Amino acid sequence: MPVTDAQVLDALRSVEDPLIHRSIVDLGLVRRLAVAGTAVDLTVALVGPEAAESLRHRVTDALTRIDGVDTSHVELAPMTDHERDQLAQRLEAERTTPIPFAAPGSPTRVLLVASGKGGVGKSSITVNLAIALAQRGRRVCVVDADVWGFSVPAMLGIDRAPTVLGNRMVLPPEAHGVACASIGFFVREDQPVVWRGPMLHKALEQFLTDFWWGEPDFLVVDLPPGTGDISLSLASFLPRAEAYVVTTPQPAAQRVAQRAGLMFQSEQIGISVHGVIENMSWFTGHDGTRYELFGAGGGAALAERLGVPLIGQVPLVVELREGGDAGRPLVVSDPEGEVARAFASVARRIDEELAPTRRDHPGLRVV
């Protein structure tokens, strides 16, 4: 039987735009469709040039799966400014609240990654954990809320600016299955961010409202160290969030880290702390011996102090730092290594064991 337009559209309905993560049919991005016998000629609107290769592959793959289609030609047509503005208006109209993650029925789990002090590897933890969650088949986004020490885009290997629709909606760039928002997209590397509380508050709000996130499974937030304005603002924006505190093994670091955990647990904030992650736990020598260079027990002591589980210990390896500097996270470059296995374990525990119940958060999808 000859192939019909309806068959082609049905097959394309499963194809998501790489930037918006919605069906290209439902978004109205299929501009022209012509079927002649076993040949399909198709034009699809291209939201952003960085998505061209991925979109072409997805569309072509969907067409090859249609019984009776032997050949296909796919043209990608860049959207006009007017079309971009219309698309932004359409997406905005679908939002029921300015910050969808704060809504009781939101399916997204928000993970706040915090530390009491700098230098404990919190951003490395954030990036590798986010990718480990994505490797489990989850849709993951990261907000780099460390406005003064932004580093997440570079660690993910993202070197392009976000796509903007109609000067009103920002589509976050992605790498390794993780979308990212950061002040680093809007200021130079050598430009210090000298902002007071109100400006910080507004910038963080725009990350959550002006960026198009869709409905990811996880939004992972890399907080700045300490207990300042940014943590307070995000707690007010995202009251359903879960906090995870990062520390290193030495007692001095643990004592500082507990302040971040106690801040979230205070009556003023009221954010649930779900676990502690210990970084730089040991160094494994060539002979297989573990050397506890920074002492031992800090993570366990902090977890006991906060009344939460120690959900993972991440070894100290040079490649973890090198991967962050090169934009090649270790869970990607060495997926079977000791560090990647540690992150996979932490991601599994967060995804499965520590998932809130419906009673905790009405409307959450529980896996």
Check whether 166 has a pLDDT greater than 90. no
Residue of 212 and 320 predicted with greater confidence: 212
pLDDT per position as a tens digit, 259-296: 999 999 988 889 999 999 999 999 998 888 999 988 89
Average pLDDT over residues 83-105: 88
> What pLDDT is stored for residue 42 in this prediction?
95
Check whether 360 has a pLDDT greater than 60. no
> What pLDDT is stored for residue 367 in this prediction?
34
Angle CA 221–225–231, to nearest 5: 55
Q: How far is CA 361 from CA 99, 161, 239, 264, in A?
A: 16, 34, 11, 17
Average pLDDT over residues 70-76: 93
Mean pLDDT check: name the lowest of 16-20, 21-25, 230-234: 230-234
One-letter amino acid of 92: E
**pLDDT band, very low/low/confident/very high, at 134 (cuts 50, 70, 90):** very high
**pLDDT band, very low/low/confident/very high, at 357 (cuts 50, 70, 90):** low
> What pLDDT is stored for residue 10 in this prediction?
95
> What pLDDT is stored for residue 361 in this prediction?
46
pLDDT per position as a tens digit, 190-221: 777 777 778 888 888 899 999 999 899 999 99
Domains of the chain with bracketed CATH: 5-79 (3.30.300.130), 100-353 (3.40.50.300)
User: Residue 96 burial (CB < 10 Å; 0-12/13-18/19+)?
Assistant: exposed
Most confident of 102-106, 197-201, 267-271, 334-338: 334-338
Residues 6 or more apart whose Cβ sits within 8 Å of residue 287: none
Percent of the chain with pLDDT over 90: 64
Average pLDDT over residues 349-367: 63
**pLDDT band, very low/low/confident/very high, at 167 (cuts 50, 70, 90):** confident
pLDDT per position as a tens digit, 235-246: 889 999 999 999
Q: What is the DSSP string of 58-96?
A: HHHHHHHTSTT--EEEEEEEEPPHHHHHHHHHHHHHT-S
**pLDDT band, very low/low/confident/very high, at 335 (cuts 50, 70, 90):** very high
Provide the token pair at 73.
């030609």
Task: Please tell me the distance from the alpha carbon of residue 256 to that of residue 188, in angstroms, as a whole number.
Answer: 31
**pLDDT band, very low/low/confident/very high, at 107 (cuts 50, 70, 90):** very high
- pTM equals 0.90
The residue among 354, 360, 285 whose CA lies nearest residue 317 is 285
Burial 26-41 (b: 16+ CB within 10 A, else e): ebebbeeeebeeeebe
Residue 1 near residue 68, CB atoms below 8 Å: yes
Q: What's the Rg (C-alpha) of the chain?
A: 22
